[in-house]
Structure 1
Amino acid sequence: MRLTLPIPFKLSSSSLSSPTSTISTTTSIIELQQHIINSNKPMNQLTKLFKEISIKWSSLTRSNLKVIDQILDPKMKSKSLKLFVNTKLKGDITLDLVRDELIRLNPIGELDGVEVLELPEDVNRELFDQHQHGSLYLPYSFVVPGGVFQEMYAWDSFFIVLGLIRDKEIRLAKNMLDNYIYQIEHYGMILNGNRTYYLNRSQLPFITQLIKLIYPTIPTKHSQSWLRRAIKASEKYHEYWTTGNHLVQETGLSRFFDSSPDGTSPPEIVHEVDRRDGKTAHERVRKFFRDHHQAGIPDYDILQYYDPINDKLTEKYMNNDRAMRESGFDTSSRFGMFNAKVLDFNPICLNSLLVQMEFEIHELYQLLHENLLKSLKPNHTEVTEEDINQMNLKKSMKKTEKKSKLWKFKSIERIKLIRKFNWDSDDGMFYDYDYVKGERRKYLFGTCFLPLWCGFASKLESELVVKHALKGLEAEGGLLVSNVDVGDQWDSPYGWAPLQLFGVEGMKKYGFEEEAERVALKFNSMVLKTWIRTGELWEKYDVKKCNEIVDLKFGYATNEVGFGWTNAVFTRFYDLLSNEGKKKLSEINEDIQQAEIKETIEETQVEKVKDENEILGNLIGRINELDPNRREELMKKLSINEVSLKTNLDSDEDWIEVGRENV
């Protein structure tokens, strides 16, 4: 007879298989393999990931229904619960109204530890201590990126809304856009995030794109008034970016800037601690400057940014550090080591998006103008001047038409300036312009695709950018941020979802279908494989090694899970893929499933041998109790010895029967 054993087994932890099953009897490894293949077919991983992303929007949503969840800040040491409300910029809200609303929406006693406070007029003076900081009131629900980032972020929210629209979460998407508008009306801009320590800066602007996407969902009865309000907010936000310290008079282009008092450190820096040595981001920068200030570095004179006598970062460094955070690219060497010269630059990303913003405000005024016409003649027949005079709309229509032309002119003028200062015809590349030095910084960076994504690059410019950018930035998992590796998260070997989107959609817009498909498939393949292995979607990836593991020397040293923009870009890329591309992604999914099955079979074989040896060991123990003559006879018959416990079970099928007869 042949040995039969019960062998329980599980698929690997990353598998999405059916529940653990037990094999009651097997007669061979071949039968065991067939059992695993037939009765434990994993669910489709790709389908599962789409479902998880759709569900994840809910887990990442914050609202006034659970106000404590949105007030708690894992980035700050203080756990005080403060919610600040600004009632001064627009008089449609009071502190009492907000407090009453929160009491009504939350369970009894939930707000006992929450302070609802009026936002001070001089935030820089009165919120000087991190323990004084808190959350900023927003009226509508919103989706957070994930991880330690538990607030509504400016540019993250754009990508998140794209994902929400794709998953038909239209109401939540509109809520986030309405929060954009509310922030402009009550805080003067779209905030970096809705915390008091973000009140002095914004992030890259995308509001007009979202207005165009959301407007068709607005009920007709309210659409005109909502559109007027949205346009007004957009114009005010554009003014934020194109006046005062954001405007560089020498070039007519804009830059990043944080309006906090000179020399102040960003309060949120306290969370950027490297768990390996306990040092903050600024302590690591100081160490670098301490070690290099005598030898120097090519980017700039370290002594402008570091005081070696007092081992202290200078006011100039701090001002640039805060401005870097408005860019969203913290940290990188794009604007010099640690982005410490960002105030000296007209960035290609910001100015490209301002071109888009200006042109889209032009389009929104056109839409407003067309709607006025429709309100006169629903059947779209010709409208006479007499009709317009009778409806007293001539003045309004002329105004919208004039505004539309003005904004189109603004966008055209900015394109001319970008070509003058940011376009490098020798390299065939869009770079950031250092207006202090009067030269372009030839630092290849993923934002070079933004003129294509925004649609104002010429055909020749697009061809050159695609050629040179792919040569320098394309990797196994998509697009590198840059081709420079110095230990920053916004440099090589890392890749981030937003820059993948700019690259892929920019190339697709200009007819580079094959290249766009290839990069999108690379990125989605990496995200899918990493999710199957880790069960998470990540803030950023190592696109050279195609994993989530980061080894960062500067900035915050973690990789956060969630993650809003990764979720959105993954689903958006899938929709952009051709049928052949989708098939390839599915084949990757099937390959992973087969690898899991193979791994399971190998693990099961090991367990089978372990179980057989355990039985054999017990049998030998029983044999040892016999008299020496019978013991020697059995050991010889079973082909085993006490030292190695080796056995040849397959060739000696009757060993167990012999054992039973003799024990």
Structure 2
Amino acid sequence: MTKQSNPLSPDQLFGQFFRDVQLGHVFTDSKTFVDSVPKSSPAEVIALYDTEKTKPDFDLETFIRTNFRVPEKVASNYVSDTSVSTAEHINRLWDRLTRQADTPEMGGSRIALPFPYIVPGGRFREIFYWDSYFTMLGLQESLETTPNSLELIQGMVDNFAYLIDRFGFIPNGNRTYFLSRSQPPYFSLMVKLLAAIEGHDVLTKYLPQLKREYDFWMAGKSLIPDGQNLHQRVVKIDTQTYLNRYWDNTPTPRPEAYRQEIELTDEAKEMGVKPEVLYMHIRAACESGWDFSSRWFSDPNSMALIHTADFVPVDLNCLLYDLELTLQDATSQTDDSTTPDDFESLSTRRKQAIQQLFWNDETGFFHDYDAVTKQQTPYLTLAGVFPLFFNIATSEQAARVHERLKDDFLQAGGWVTTLERSSQQWDWPNGWAPLQWIVYRGLQNYGFQETANEGRDRWLALNDKVFKATGKMMEKYNVVDASLTTGGGEYPNQDGFGWTNGVYLRLLKDTKPI
């Protein structure tokens, strides 16, 4: 499929009208308007707005609700039966979180996908890239109880392949306002999950898309200017070694968080940060999936000092190591002009760099690396467990990470995301389902089963407790004090919730005797 030009996002389509809505506090959540669908063409809506807004009785919210289809939260009216088990509740909820193949919407921000898919839930009414892998873990466990689970897994992989074919990469989600960034690259893990069900030939089927995914992340490699070490998503470590960062070159506020970022601009200017630089680093953090965390800040209490694109993240480079291994495996089965040896040498160099660049012998943990200051960042986060998940760490490194996890990260309800107590949602005291899975499997890989089980059991118990009390599966949880709700972030905690459901079912499987 030939790459097509990108459709316009709501800020581009509606111009001043968009800005008036987002700065007018019409909706408490800036995402509501960008997900709304006009009932006529954008040009007609703008013309009508320009006429109507001068009238003395004009009301902006009434105008929007008259001329747009305003979305509701996913499964917002669903009444849970808390008398059933959490697992049964999840299996009943899959249908509520499923969207059928899309029909294109004139003027809407949703990018139509050709196959059914699972959305996270709540305000998240579209497919999200890295969420979907963890959702698939649960669908894989639901193959016997949910008849269309395999169809959904296959459809979601095919939807991501479609997005790669159309745009050259997998966007953050299927929205026009996500088309400048991706998310943590889990496509290779999705393909391998499907291959575990359908057979090894799945790898060769998706080899073209796996290669294009890799090409997207490595696109800046040949363009790094002399004397510099950063370009697009590529970081030059030495003449033979290239690693990666998160990046987005769109120097404007995100449409789905327009008001908040405009308001943050004044604070940033006072600190000497240019608006376009602020927006770039914010968008890069959104590509990381960790939006937001003190992990990305110079000062853990000031988002205006975010500088995500300066960092070489340990978790991203572990994911790309896995993509290189998958490409090595897939090309070994074909007559592809790229040989397995090419990807073997790339993955070997990346593995060596991960062990050396990110490892801190003093803290006994893996840290991110600041490519501008050329030193490790000080923060301890669960991103440092990814080398265990992908079997990159040495046994000595894994043993020290294990001790640090037990001593500092294990809390009453599972693994806390970072040790920094900030106002951001990807920090203490919050725990997130995908990271519970990464830690669990990472510890398993190195034989620390008892600790893995302890974290697993505490997380499942917390999920059960909250479900019985609220009838909900949450986006994130307070793992430090289960009597309190989660905090931080630019929106309230969401229920649904795709990746929590998936990880719950997958972890629950391992509590049962074989």
Structure 2-normalised TM-score?
A: 0.76
Is 1:179 aligned with 2:148? Answer: no
Contact 1:424/1:430 (8 A) holds in 2:
yes
Deviations 1:530-564 (A, max 9, x none): 10000000000111112571332xx4130000000
Structure 2 residue matching 1:281: 3-state secondary structure: helix
Match in the other structure for 1:59: 96
Given residue 304 of structure 1, which amino acid in structure 2 is its aligned partner? Answer: V
RMSD, matched Cα: 2.3
Given residue 173 of structure 2, which amino acid in structure 1 is its aligned partner? Answer: G
Is 1:135 aligned with 2:110? Answer: yes
For 1:74-153, list aligned pairs within 5 A.
83=104, 114-115=105-106, 134-153=109-128
Q: Whole-Å Cα distance in 2 between the matches of residues 326 and 524 of structure 1? A: 28
Q: Report the Cα offset of residue 347 of structure 1.
A: 0.3
Given residue 276 of structure 2, which amino acid in structure 1 is its aligned partner? Answer: E
Is 1:240 aligned with 2:228? Answer: no
For 1:2-401, list aligned pairs within 5 A.
16=82, 45=84, 48-64=85-101, 67=103, 83=104, 114-115=105-106, 134-168=109-143, 169-215=149-195, 217-218=197-198, 227-244=203-220, 245-250=232-237, 252-260=242-250, 263-270=251-258, 280-282=259-261, 285=264, 302-305=271-274, 314-336=275-297, 337=300, 338=303, 340-366=306-332, 368=333, 396=335, 399=336
Match in the other structure for 1:466: 402
Among residues 528, 531, 536, which one is paired with 2:464 in the alignment?
Answer: 528
Q: Whole-Å Cα distance in 2 between the matches of residues 404 and 231 of structure 1? A: 12
Given residue 249 of structure 1, which amino acid in structure 2 is its aligned partner? Answer: K
Go from structure 1 to structure 2 and tell me whether the alpha carbon gap of 1:547 and 1:362 turns closer, same or farther (over 3 Å shift). Answer: farther
Structure 1 residue matching 2:323: 3-state secondary structure: helix
Deviations 1:461-481 (A, max 9, x none): 101111113322111100111
Among residues 370, 375, 378, which one is paired with 1:434 in the alignment?
Answer: 370
Structure 1 residue matching 2:393: 3-state secondary structure: coil
Match in the other structure for 1:541: 477
Match in the other structure for 1:572: 506
Q: Whole-Å Cα distance in 2 between the matches of residues 178 and 317 of structure 1? A: 35
Structure 2 residue matching 1:492: 3-state secondary structure: coil
Structure 2 unpaired stretches of 5+: 1-78, 144-148, 221-231
Q: Report the Cα offset of residue 199 of structure 1.
A: 0.7
Deviations 1:468-504 (A, max 9, x none): 1332211110011101111100000101001111111
Structure 2 residue matching 1:495: 3-state secondary structure: strand
Structure 2 residue matching 1:469: 3-state secondary structure: helix
Go from structure 1 to structure 2 and tell me whether the alpha carbon gap of 1:544 and 1:410 turns closer, same or farther (over 3 Å shift). Answer: same
Match in the other structure for 2:51: none
Among residues 453, 467, 479, which one is paired with 2:389 in the alignment?
Answer: 453
Contact 1:14/1:532 (8 A) holds in 2:
no
Deviations 1:368-416 (A, max 9, x none): 25xxxxxxxxxxxxxxxxxxxxxxxxxx3xx57x622221221111011
Q: Report the Cα offset of residue 15 of structure 1.
A: 8.3
Contact 1:481/1:494 (8 A) holds in 2:
yes
Q: Report the Cα offset of residue 418 of structure 1.
A: 1.6
Given residue 174 of structure 1, which amino acid in structure 2 is its aligned partner? Answer: Q
Deviations 1:557-614 (A, max 9, x none): 30000000100111111112265xx9xxxxxxxxxxxxxxxxxxxxxxxxxxxxxxxx
Match in the other structure for 1:375: none
Structure 1 residue matching 2:376: 3-state secondary structure: strand
Q: Whole-Å Cα distance in 1 between the matches of residues 159 and 235 of structure 2? A: 29
For 1:583-602, list aligned pairs within 5 A.
none
Q: Report the Cα offset of residue 449 of structure 1.
A: 0.8
Given residue 488 of structure 1, which amino acid in structure 2 is its aligned partner? Answer: Q
Given residue 325 of structure 1, which amino acid in structure 2 is its aligned partner? Answer: C
Q: Whole-Å Cα distance in 2 between the matches of residues 215 and 568 of structure 1? A: 18
Structure 1 residue matching 2:244: 3-state secondary structure: coil
Deviations 1:259-278 (A, max 9, x none): 32xx21111104xxxxxxxx
Structure 2 residue matching 1:541: 3-state secondary structure: strand
Match in the other structure for 1:600: none
Deviations 1:56-84 (A, max 9, x none): 1111011137x4xxxxxxxxxxxxxxx3x
Go from structure 1 to structure 2 and tell me whether the alpha carbon gap of 1:159 and 1:474 turns closer, same or farther (over 3 Å shift). Answer: same
Q: Report the Cα offset of residue 163 of structure 1.
A: 1.0
Given residue 140 of structure 1, which amino acid in structure 2 is its aligned partner? Answer: F
Go from structure 1 to structure 2 and tell me whether the alpha carbon gap of 1:265 and 1:352 turns closer, same or farther (over 3 Å shift). Answer: same
Q: Whole-Å Cα distance in 1 between the matches of residues 442 and 203 of structure 2? A: 28
Q: Whole-Å Cα distance in 2 between the matches of residues 150 and 503 of structure 1? A: 28
Match in the other structure for 1:596: none
Contact 1:208/1:360 (8 A) holds in 2:
yes
Q: Whole-Å Cα distance in 2 between the matches of residues 242 and 422 of structure 1? A: 20
Go from structure 1 to structure 2 and tell me whether the alpha carbon gap of 1:409 and 1:548 turns closer, same or farther (over 3 Å shift). Answer: farther
Match in the other structure for 2:438: 502
Q: Whole-Å Cα distance in 1 between the matches of residues 80 and 180 of structure 2? A: 43
Q: Report the Cα offset of residue 281 of structure 1.
A: 3.2
Go from structure 1 to structure 2 and tell me whether the alpha carbon gap of 1:548 and 1:181 turns closer, same or farther (over 3 Å shift). Answer: farther
Given residue 186 of structure 1, which amino acid in structure 2 is its aligned partner? Answer: R
Go from structure 1 to structure 2 and tell me whether the alpha carbon gap of 1:324 and 1:15 turns closer, same or farther (over 3 Å shift). Answer: closer
Given residue 531 of structure 1, which amino acid in structure 2 is its aligned partner? Answer: F
Deviations 1:438-473 (A, max 9, x none): 100020101111010111111011011111133221
Q: Whole-Å Cα distance in 2 between the matches of residues 289 and 550 of structure 1? A: 27
Contact 1:540/1:548 (8 A) holds in 2:
no
Structure 1 unpaired stretches of 5+: 1-12, 17-42, 68-82, 84-113, 116-131, 271-279, 294-301, 306-313, 370-395, 583-663
Q: Whole-Å Cα distance in 2 between the matches of residues 409 and 568 of structure 1? A: 34
Q: Whole-Å Cα distance in 2 between the matches of residues 288 and 431 of structure 1? A: 29
Structure 1-normalised TM-score?
A: 0.59
Q: Report the Cα offset of residue 186 of structure 1.
A: 0.5
Q: Report the Cα offset of residue 287 of structure 1.
A: 7.3
Contact 2:325/2:343 (8 A) holds in 1:
yes
Q: Report the Cα offset of residue 191 of structure 1.
A: 1.1
Percent identity between the two aligned chains: 29
Given residue 61 of structure 1, which amino acid in structure 2 is its aligned partner? Answer: T
Q: Report the Cα offset of residue 363 of structure 1.
A: 1.9
